[in-house]
Amino acid sequence: MLVKLLLYNRINYLNLFSMKNKEFSHWFHCYQQQALILNERRLIVLFGSNSWASSLLKSIDRNSCDGAKQSESTWLVYGESDNIKSNVAKQRFRDKLGSESDFVVFHGADLSINAFAGLSGTLVAGGVLFLLVNDISQVETSLFYKRFLYLLNSFSEHVAIDENQFSLPELLPINSHNTLDKTHPLLNYNCITQEQLTAVDAVIKVLKGKRNRPFILTADRGRGKSSALAIACGELLKSATKENELRVVITVADINSLAVFFSQLVTSLPEGELQNGKFIAKHGSVEFIAIDQLLKQPVNASLVLVDEAATIPIYLLEQLLLNYSRLVFASTIHGYEGAGRGFTLKFKKTLAVKFPKWQSLHLHEPIRWGVNDPLERLVFETCLLNAELPVINAYDQKIKPSQLQFKQFSAQELAENESLLKQVFAVLVTAHYQTKPSDVQMLLDNKQVQLVCLLSKKESQKETPKKSQGEIKQHVVAVALLINEGISSSSNITAEELNAVNQSKRRLKNHFIPQSLLTQCGIEYAFDYYYLRVMRIAVHPQLQQQGIGTYFLDKITELSTLQGADFLASSFGATKALLSFWLTSDFHLARIGFNKDKASGEQSVLVLKALSQSGKVALDDINTEFYRCFDYLLTGEYKYLPAELVALILHCCPPLSFDMISLRDKANIKAFAQGHRQYSSCAFSLHLWLKQQLSGSAALKDEELLVLVSRIMQKQSIDDVCSRYGFTGKKSLEQFLKSKIQSCLTV
């Protein structure tokens, strides 16, 4: 009897399950049709088990999706479970940039907002993003999730469905007044928007115009950037002749992101043939070549296109500028996401110096979906991709640092004050090239992170009289993110875990500084101290170079001391100006990375400032060890470290690290300067002399000393030094060295 009852209940459950799936399938078909008619994309949040969510997704007829561009719709799945298999690798979601999808399924124990924002941009009009949330406590304990759902509820287009309270929202009817006209005027090259047409003409001009005038094409996702590149290539191939054949090379971090590009190229020039990443036409070709190969073995290219340039290290882009004279750099700049800001802030500065006649264009109007798309608006708001800098009025621009208010804000205060949150992020985004959507999540949910700001005390004249509750009346003019590391937050770290870290078998989250000191510098006692690391520090662009950053760092030092920290620390991509800022604020070097950062193209530096007596003793040891090894590494790992950085680092060398210059050394130096001795026989004496010379107060202003640093300290080859500094050959270089040393000796 009991068996029959259980079987009966099971059958009823399955029947109910099947009915709900059919109900959802019918509802979803109408829901998705509405999105397609309105030329928009939508989000459905499914609260429940993976098995339940999987059954709903499987109830969707994947082959009858009217939004699909092929006979079968394209699904991207991020995050894997027993019921739902992933086809997007967690660490490689950026490979999907430039591709298109009809549906995205996103799930996992932790919401990776970087991947969420990235994959949302692949959806075409009519597409739906499914966010699966298994654990409701995940939402209840997360300020980020709470804010996300609060913003979600402000959109009538997006839907949340709960397994335990299954209910499908009523769909409002669509009438002729709220449908969008998706027809486009007939433009040249069959472009969809006038902006896209302008972009095509600009790419063509790079080839047909004057040399050394790089063109940068940027856009948020879905604006037809990659298609514009392909249309331009198609037009150039049409005009190519037997006497003037065309060879276009396109490079990108991952060839899979060129799917849209090559698809459009086939459409633009159907008589061509695509095979293995190369499109061949009658009198030319467009070929993918990886950037490392393109730099290692330069090719004779008519035109070089770099797609998704923000995903490629900037120093590699700079090398391309040296090797090719006709270049187009195109990149997705989805708000501030990823290295996009680095591409905007840093690479454009390089172009301005070396190629003052470079051109740029940013595409605004979407092509894959309509204007004011609800999914794009939600992503921009939840990730603060639309955060705008506060306008600093004339009064505040003249304000003294001491007139600013230093204040610490809690995560709860941020969550309750949208105006503050947006201002904080706007300042961070403008000043830093590595700000990511996940930083919003980190600020609101990472208990180890502290936020401190400098606020102007003058209220903006543009503020409206009525303010929302909790809205700040002051401008945020500087922001810093601090994170607790070391013993203050790691009392539960076991000896076994530390041993595993020391043997490079594991890494500990939120302990970057002590972990680096232990594994990279061999400082066994690194985890015996409490560190406050400055993860980010940024000053409003209108108020930079006024001493505000130094004042801010002093206030942070006071706060860190009050909290009992042994060290204030930071790590960043080193430039002369940035490193000088930290060193003049009583920070000292602990480490320089051996490899260039992918985003900045610079080598990372780790600096420390001792705040306790025991910290001072430890820092003396750490800094002395750094300089003990630095000279040796200059001829190997740091051989091509920028000479101005080497000069600055040696300028701060502790006096005890200098070797004594003997009478014989002095004689060798004088003999070389007078032309009586060969360079190689005096090289070591010159090394000792130059090291002391760089410690002088005027050394950092003497740019001629950089030639000596490259040749004597770093032992760069004669050819490299001549090429870098413009000498005609060995004879002119040595004559300069002798003359410069002689002038220094006579001062």
**What domains lie within the chain, and their CATH numbers?**
24-162 (3.40.50.11040), 188-363 (3.40.50.300), 393-651 (3.40.630.30), 655-746 (1.20.120.890)
Residue 671 has what pLDDT? 95
Cβ neighbours, 10 Å, residue 186: 7
Backbone angles phi, psi at 458, to 5 degrees: -100, 125
Q: Token pair for residue 477?
A: 């003019």
Percent residues over pLDDT 90 in the chain: 59
Q: Is the pLDDT score of 80 beyond 80?
A: no
Cβ neighbours, 10 Å, residue 743: 11
Question: Strand ranges (DSSP E) for 225-302?
Answer: 246-251, 273-275, 278-281, 284-288
Q: What is the mean pLDDT of residues 687-701?
A: 91
| pLDDT tens column, 307-338 | 988 878 778 898 899 899 999 999 887 655 44
Q: Is the pLDDT score of 379 beyond 50?
A: yes
Number of helices followed by number of strands (H, E) in the chain: 28, 20
| pLDDT tens column, 187-196 | 899 999 999 9
| DSSP bridge pairs for 401 | none
Percent residues over pLDDT 70 in the chain: 88
Q: Are 664 and 632 in contact (CB under 8 A)?
A: no
Burial class (CB in 10 A: 0-12, 13-18, 19+), 655: exposed
Secondary structure class of 217 (helix, strand, coil): strand
Q: Is the dihedral of CA 735, 736, 738, 739 positive or negative?
A: positive
| pLDDT tens column, 510-532 | 899 999 999 899 999 999 999 99
Residue 491 has what pLDDT? 58
Q: Token pair for residue 371?
A: 């204007």
| Closest to 608 measured CA to CA, from 557, 550, 552 | 557
| Inter-CA distances, 648 with 283, 523, 653, 695, Å | 54, 24, 9, 9
Of the pLDDT bands very low, low, confident and very high (cuts 50, 70, 90), residue 341 is low
Residue 363 has what pLDDT? 93
Backbone angles phi, psi at 218, to 5 degrees: -120, 160
Distance of alpha carbon 735 from alpha carbon 673, whole angstroms: 9
Q: Token pair for residue 249?
A: 């090379």
pTM of the predicted protein model: 0.82
Q: Are 434 and 496 in contact (CB under 8 A)?
A: no
| pLDDT tens column, 522-568 | 999 999 999 999 999 999 888 888 999 999 999 999 999 999 999 99
Of the pLDDT bands very low, low, confident and very high (cuts 50, 70, 90), residue 456 is confident
Backbone angles phi, psi at 172, to 5 degrees: -75, 140
Of the pLDDT bands very low, low, confident and very high (cuts 50, 70, 90), residue 433 is low
| DSSP bridge pairs for 286 | 248, 279
| pLDDT tens column, 288-302 | 999 989 998 889 999
Distance of alpha carbon 70 from alpha carbon 542, whole angstroms: 50
Q: Three-state SS across 66-118? A: CCCCCCCCCEEEECCCCCCCCCECHHHHHHHCCCCEEEEEEECCCCCHHHHHH
Q: Token pair for residue 553?
A: 């760092």
Residues 6+ apart with CB under 8 A from 464: none
Q: Token pair for residue 447?
A: 């208990």
Of the pLDDT bands very low, low, confident and very high (cuts 50, 70, 90), residue 496 is confident
Q: Are 124 and 102 in contact (CB under 8 A)?
A: yes
Q: Is the pLDDT score of 729 beyond 90?
A: yes
Q: What is the mean pLDDT of residues 80-105?
A: 82
Q: Are 250 and 232 in contact (CB under 8 A)?
A: no
| Closest to 126 measured CA to CA, from 10, 39, 55, 219 | 39
Distance of CA 513 to the CA centre of its chain: 21
Distance of CA 679 to the CA centre of its chain: 45
Q: Token pair for residue 408?
A: 């610490």
Q: What does 430-497 look like in DSSP terms, one character per residue?
A: HH-TT--THHHHHHHH-TTEEEEEEE-SSPPTT--S---TT--SS-EEEEEEEEEEETTT-TT--HHH
Q: Which of 96-100, 105-109, 726-730 has the highest mean pLDDT?
A: 726-730
| Closest to 77 measured CA to CA, from 61, 90, 62 | 90
| pLDDT tens column, 646-680 | 999 999 999 888 888 999 999 999 999 999 999 99
Lowest mean pLDDT among 177-181, 426-430, 484-488: 177-181
Distance of alpha carbon 117 from alpha carbon 104, whole angstroms: 11
